[in-house]
Structure 1
Amino acid sequence: MILVTWGFVGFDGVAHMGEETRIARFAVPRAMFWSICINGALAFAMAIIFLFTLGDVEDILESPYAVVTIFLSATKSPTFASVLVGITQTMGISVSLGSVASTSRLTWAWARDGALPLYFAYVDPRHRIPLRSIWLPLVIVALLSLLNLVNYTAFSVIISLSTFGLYQSYFIAIGCMLYARLTGRIEAPWSLGRFGVFINAAAMVYTAWIGVFLVFPNYLPVDASNMNYALPINAFVWIVALIWWFAWARRHWKGLDAEIIDKVVADGDRDTKD
């Protein structure tokens, strides 16, 4: 149910735009928390509606566009089915915008802090956004999408690898948060309170469980054409990253810009006092 899972994608975009948000210490976690609650309720309702209006399962499995078949079965009208398809496309665009916001701000922050060329840290004075950091991931994704015209297996590997990488980033971030909670290093004005440890632990277990299935092949028997290469490619990326860290970055990269972090925290403290 890719349409249902779309409701949970892109919510972290606001976290990467914390430096552009007023009172980020309060606004960012609230936005993430309530977006998950609202989208979760809507996604659950959407899943129930899909199950009740599914129609013939065999027709859906044989259809090249299962969503269109479901909408036709539910509405009995090509016009209304087209309207629903348009709504789902709007959802996809919205999710994509959240992903672009996340990726571009990460790219910009890495460039600003010295992990990427400083060229991508440029902020356009007219639009007040990092245009170069927005265009870089867009161009890379567009080029990778062209693989679908040459070899769908290679394209499917990119999709699996991106999803697997996303879940790894969640696992690492939540793991750091859980460690901070257990060691008493949490200093946040807005938190999950005493439920935080259990929620973080459950999230890590769930993320690890989902990650296992993301690297499974989709079909049996497994051969070179349907093999899921996400795991070996991911392992290769980790090996290259570790080698790069010990060979160069550990001695040359100065780390995150602490001054920027202090300014974001001070903005929250100042607005709270006001």
Structure 2
Amino acid sequence: MQRDEKSSSLDVDVKTVPDIAHGRKGLGGDDALLAKLGYKSEFRREFSLIETVAFAFSIMGIVASVSSTFSFPLSTGGHVGMVWGWFIPCAFVLCVAASMAELASAMPTSAGLYYYSAKLANPKHSALASWITGWANITGQVSLVCSIDFTCAQMITTAITVGSDGAVVLGTGATYGILLAILVSHGLVCSFSTRILARLNLFYAVINVGTSVAAIIVLLVCSGDKKVSTKDAFTLFENNTGWANNGWAFLLAFTAPMWTFTGYDSAAHISEEVAGAARAAPIAIMAGVGATQALGWLILIAASFATSSVADLLTTDLPLPMGQLFLNVLGKRGMLAIWSCIIVVQFVTGAAQGVDASRVVFAFARDNALPGSRWWKQVNVHTQTPVNAVWLVIICAALCGLLGFSEAALTSLAGASVIGLYTSYATPIFLRITSGRDKLVPGPFTLGRWFIPIGAVAVAWVAFINVLLFFPSGQHTSAEDMNYAVVLIMAVFIYAAGSWIVSAHKWFTGPISNLESAPPSVNEKSSAQ
């Protein structure tokens, strides 16, 4: 794989970038800032601030994500796992989000995390840092698309089972078929123009918030006398993991919120489609994470009160225990009503994640870092979006979905997506507080003198959570319940490391400029008309 002849190595002094962000406003200022970063504007900037916030919030799909991962806190601590297994990681995730927001404000480009790593690393290791970050992020992005959509398929099979009173129980093959249908529909949606995608995210946010509030209310009100006491809701601990050590079992409850708190880097990856990106991207990251944390905690507190028997939920025949909880509280009709809304939330979450993943693939291909980059970096002339990259993501997610024929492998895929994403989050943050400490003058959003302690906490947390996610759910494991996350992550690592050693170190020098070879900016075209 060779570079385009007109491409050149990107050499940007990031200290000069914020001057443009502060000094110029509107599309011209955004495009000038992007040019200073080394890229020609190829998208229409049709995401407003509120739409960018809606995108970052919707991609975490709070009520659907809690419903998808409810089995983790149930087994790793019961009521304590639900309430405190969510609350404790929130402060640490905010540190990660704040550090990322500062970088997104200073360097608003779709390349995002791997671009930050390249600019903040020691020049000798810049390309390698960018390569590692990029592959880790793409691994997490694509596997997360699969995880979200497979869970959406499981939600649909749960509804079918409840609706038929248990007469119809779809197997793994049928679930995979539903997954493929969902992926194809997402491919079509993600191929829309930026303007349509921006407007859709407002709908995503409304249905997300509305369903979350509805779930909180019905769990608290409709559970009636079956609610547990306040003491039990906040302090009753049950270890159903198979681990003898209760403390370690409780730590595994962190898996659920960490799977939910992914994708908020999306605001950085769509920054080339956002007006006022240096300001909007960090606001979207912080607002999206904060709102998700608050709503998620309220949903889980309500679920804790409504759970009269943890064992009953863990032994349900339904694919997802949250479905059984709603069935216990609301009955068949009520459960199907709220569950239908949750399915919609999960569906739009997958659609938003598909957009995010496609922008990462596009950006990495734009820097000629992927096999077949010349195909994946193309922007459709009709929609002005990277349609080829969209369908590459869909195909790769469909292949990952084959792991669904093994429940252990599918569960491991969720862990692998978190490990991949958070590794890509932590790498530029680590470089920011080490080799890049004096290389960056922040944009409109800055952590000031707190960037080092906040960044250090963020990196330490990611290191801890990555190790945690490699452990199996029980102390004694077999092939059926082993955690295969290490296998999945190592497969990508071996490929990325092998390709680097064999050839990539000869031609990949990190982000490269496309200013000379790119056509006129779409925003320049609009202004000229």
What's the TM-score once normalised by structure 2's chain length? 0.45
Query: Paired residue for 1:136?
Result: 392
SS of 2:496's equivalent in the other structure is helix
Specify whether residues 42 and 158 from structure 1 end up closer, same or farther in structure 2 by C-alpha distance, changes over 3 A only: closer
- Aligned-pair CA distance for 1:7: 5.3
Specify whether residues 93 and 197 from structure 1 end up closer, same or farther in structure 2 by C-alpha distance, changes over 3 A only: farther
Query: Paired residue for 2:526?
Result: none
Specify whether residues 195 and 17 from structure 1 end up closer, same or farther in structure 2 by C-alpha distance, changes over 3 A only: same
1:87 and 2:341 are equivalent in the alignment: yes
Query: Paired residue for 1:73?
Result: 328
Q: Does the CA-based 8 Å contact 1:11-1:98 persist in structure 2? A: no
Specify whether residues 184 and 132 from structure 1 end up closer, same or farther in structure 2 by C-alpha distance, changes over 3 A only: closer
Question: What CA distance in whole angstroms lies between the structure 1 residues aligned with 2:450 and 2:507?
Answer: 40
1:152 and 2:407 are equivalent in the alignment: yes
The amino acid that maps onto 2:432 is: M
The amino acid that maps onto 2:492 is: V
- Aligned-pair CA distance for 1:181: 6.5
1:97 and 2:360 are equivalent in the alignment: no
Query: Paired residue for 2:291?
Result: 38
SS of 2:434's equivalent in the other structure is helix
Question: What CA distance in whole angstroms lies between the structure 2 residues aligned with 1:8 and 1:180?
Answer: 27
Specify whether residues 82 and 112 from structure 1 end up closer, same or farther in structure 2 by C-alpha distance, changes over 3 A only: same
Runs of 4+ in 1 over 4 A off after TM superposition: none
Which structure has the larger Rg over C-alpha atoms? Answer: 2
- Aligned-pair CA distance for 1:236: 4.2
Question: What CA distance in whole angstroms lies between the structure 2 residues aligned with 1:175 and 1:93?
Answer: 34
The amino acid that maps onto 1:153 is: A
Higher relative contact order (CA 8 A, sep 6+): 2
Query: Paired residue for 1:264?
Result: none
In the alignment, structure 2 segments of 5+ residues that lack a partner are 1-65, 71-255, 516-529
Query: Paired residue for 2:381?
Result: 125
1:189 and 2:444 are equivalent in the alignment: yes
Query: Paired residue for 1:162?
Result: 417
Larger mean Cα displacement after TM superposition, 46-55 or 237-246? 237-246
Identity rate, percent: 27
Query: Paired residue for 2:508?
Result: 253
Question: What CA distance in whole angstroms lies between the structure 2 residues aligned with 1:58 and 1:229?
Answer: 26
The amino acid that maps onto 1:60 is: L
Quick one: which of 421, 424, 427 aligns to 1:172?
A: 427
Question: What CA distance in whole angstroms lies between the structure 1 residues aligned with 2:326 and 2:344?
Answer: 16
What's the TM-score once normalised by structure 1's chain length? 0.84
- Aligned-pair CA distance for 1:105: 0.7
Question: What CA distance in whole angstroms lies between the structure 2 residues aligned with 1:110 and 1:184?
Answer: 23
- CA offset digits 1:156-214 (Å, max 9, x no partner): 33333222212212221322333367336233221233333332222222222221221
- Aligned-pair CA distance for 1:254: 4.2
Query: How large is the RMSD of aligned CA atoms in angstroms?
Result: 2.5
Specify whether residues 99 and 31 from structure 1 end up closer, same or farther in structure 2 by C-alpha distance, changes over 3 A only: same
| Count of aligned pairs | 259
Q: Does the CA-based 8 Å contact 1:171-1:204 persist in structure 2? A: yes
Question: What CA distance in whole angstroms lies between the structure 2 residues aligned with 1:160 and 1:60?
Answer: 22
Question: What CA distance in whole angstroms lies between the structure 2 residues aligned with 1:164 and 1:90?
Answer: 27
Query: Paired residue for 1:272?
Result: none
- Aligned-pair CA distance for 1:39: 1.6
Quick one: which of 113, 131, 141 aligns to 2:367?
A: 113
Query: Paired residue for 2:190?
Result: none
Question: What CA distance in whole angstroms lies between the structure 2 residues aligned with 1:114 and 1:247?
Answer: 16
- CA offset digits 1:119-150 (Å, max 9, x no partner): 1111111111111100111111112213323x
SS of 1:146's equivalent in the other structure is helix
Question: What CA distance in whole angstroms lies between the structure 1 residues aligned with 2:323 and 2:410?
Answer: 23
Q: Which has the higher helix share?
A: 1
In the alignment, structure 1 segments of 5+ residues that lack a partner are 261-274
- Aligned-pair CA distance for 1:25: 1.2
